C-alpha cells in the first residue's frame, strides 16, 4: 500500500519536493557521500517512439554546520529520490514522470555497490508499473533493465544530448555562480535543437530540475526550483560572453527574490564541487 501512495503522490513533476519526502529514514541515512553530483540529475535514452526514457535522481546530504561550500567538506547521506520518466517531447510533461524514495514508505528504492533497483506493481490507471535494475558504469552511464509501463528493455542511460548535433550551444555545460556567497551550480543540457533543460545544486541538495529557455538576442532564462512545488522558484536572465566561459546577468525581482546582478563561470568538467576546476 505504501508504494501505491508514493507513486500516486508524485505522478506530476511539479509535486516533486513536497510529495516524495519519506516519512521514515532512508535505508542509507548517515553514510558518507563522496561525489554527490555523480548521483544526481538526469540520464536517458531513446524510447523507440520518438521520445526518451530515463531516470532523475535527487540527492540530499548533510555537511558540518560551519561549511559554506561542499568542496572539501565531508558529506553524509540524507535521502535519495528516484524519478522514472518517459518523455514524448523535448521537455518532461505532466504524467510522464513518477517518483519514489529510498525508505519503506517512500517506495523502497535501493542503491548499493553502484546498483540501483526498484520494483513497483501498480493497481492504478495513471501510475504505470515500474521495474529498475541498473548498474552505474564509468563514463557517467547506467546499464541494465528499465521497465516503465509499455517500455521494458535493457538500456544504457547517458546524460541528455542532441543526437547528431553539428554544434553545441555556449550555455551547455556546468556553471558555478561566482557573484554571491554560498553555493549554487547549474548543469545545462540540450535535449533537442534549441530546446534546453537542466538541474541545479545547492548546499546539501543536488539534482533539482530547472527550466531553461532562450530569451532572445543570445540571452537565456534559467528558472531554478521550477518544479519543486515549494515556494519559490528563482529566475536568472544571463548572457554568455563571446568565449562561452562566463555569463553575466540579472536576478530580477520575484517572490522572495530581490533584484540583483549575477555572474557565473563555466567549469572545465561536470562538477562544481571538485576543487581542480
**How far apart are the two ends of the chain, measured CA to CA in Å?**
46
| Cβ-Cβ contacts under 8 Å for 14 (sequence gap 6 or more) | 94, 227, 229
For the question of whether the overall pTM of this predicted structure is more than 0.85, the answer is: yes
Q: How far is CA 101 from the centre of its chain?
A: 14
pLDDT tens, 15-46? 343 344 445 899 999 999 989 999 999 999 99
Low pLDDT (below 70) residues in the chain = 1-23, 164-167, 275-277
pLDDT tens, 97-133? 999 999 999 999 999 999 999 999 999 888 899 999 9
Amino acid at each position: 500500500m505504501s508504494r501505491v501512495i508514493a507513486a500516486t503522490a508524485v505522478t506530476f513533476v511539479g509535486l516533486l519536493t513536497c510529495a516524495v519526502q519519506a516519512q521514515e529514514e532512508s535505508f542509507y541515512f548517515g553514510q558518507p557521500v563522496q561525489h554527490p553530483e555523480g548521483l544526481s540529475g538526469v540520464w536517458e535514452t531513446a524510447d523507440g517512439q520518438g521520445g526518451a526514457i530515463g531516470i532523475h535522481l535527487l540527492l540530499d546530504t548533510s555537511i558540518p554546520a560551519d561549511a559554506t561550500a561542499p568542496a572539501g567538506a565531508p558529506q553524509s547521506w540524507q535521502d535519495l529520490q528516484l524519478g522514472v520518466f518517459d518523455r514524448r517531447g523535448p521537455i518532461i510533461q505532466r504524467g510522464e514522470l513518477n517518483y519514489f524514495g529510498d525508505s519503506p514508505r517512500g517506495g523502497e528504492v535501493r542503491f548499493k555497490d553502484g546498483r540501483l533497483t526498484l520494483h513497483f506493481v501498480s493497481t492504478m490507471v495513471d501510475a504505470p508499473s515500474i521495474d529498475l535494475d541498473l548498474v552505474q558504469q564509468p563514463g557517467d552511464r547506467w546499464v541494465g533493465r528499465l521497465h516503465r509501463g509499455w517500455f521494458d528493455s535493457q538500456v544504457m542511460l547517458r546524460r541528455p544530448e542532441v543526437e547528431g548535433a553539428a554544434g553545441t550551444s555556449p550555455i551547455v555545460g556546468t556553471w558555478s555562480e561566482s557573484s554571491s556567497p554560498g553555493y549554487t551550480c547549474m548543469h545545462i543540457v540540450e535535449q533537442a535543437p534549441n530546446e534546453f533543460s537542466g538541474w541545479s545544486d545547492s548546499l546539501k541538495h543536488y539534482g533539482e530540475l530547472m527550466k531553461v529557455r532562450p530569451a532572445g538576442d543570445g540571452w537565456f532564462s534559467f528558472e531554478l526550483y521550477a518544479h519543486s512545488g515549494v515556494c519559490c522558484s528563482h529566475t536568472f536572465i544571463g548572457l554568455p560572453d563571446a568565449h562561452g566561459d562566463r555569463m553575466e546577468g540579472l536576478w530580477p525581482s520575484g517572490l522572495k527574490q530581490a533584484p540583483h546582478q549575477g555572474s557565473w563561470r563555466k567549469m572545465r568538467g561536470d562538477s562544481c564541487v571538485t576543487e581542480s576546476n
